[in-house]
Amino acid sequence: MDVTPRIHSDAQVIQHYKTDHIKISGQRYETTVLVFPDKAIELDIKSVAALKQLPSEIEGIDFLIVGTGEKQAFLPKDMKQALREQNITAEAMTTASACSMYNVLMADGRRIAALLFL
């Protein structure tokens, strides 16, 4: 029995991550990127600490994965509260871990996004 999840051909799949770039569905990103199953958006935010407000594009998701770079950082408490108020669960982890988790949850059909800092 084949248990490999079927991934839509237009899905945004994270192919690889290095500290200076992320490759998503053949496209190289050298800045912070917000990835959804159907699109990827470059953002001009350099770190979790510089994140002052939530990107409006996350409306409608259930889960936000935040890749904080090489080292794990925590989301500000007010940011986590704002996400809870929108019924969005958020987890912060290293960007390498976030890339892997995004691919697994995306393939599972979850309504997710990944905010990935280099």
Tens-digit pLDDT profile for residues 65-96:
999 999 999 998 888 898 999 999 999 999 99
Spell out the domain ranges in the chain.
27-116
Across the chain, mean pLDDT equals 90
Q: What is the CATH code for 27-116?
A: 3.40.1230.10
Averaged over 60-65, what is the pLDDT?
Answer: 95
Nearest to 65 by CA among 42, 50, 48, 78: 48
Alpha helices in the chain (DSSP H): 77-85, 95-107
Q: Specify the pLDDT at position 7.
A: 65
pTM for the structure as a whole: 0.90
Separation of alpha carbons 67 and 75, rounded Å: 10
Query: Where is average pLDDT lowest: 74-78, 85-89, 97-101, 110-114?
Result: 74-78
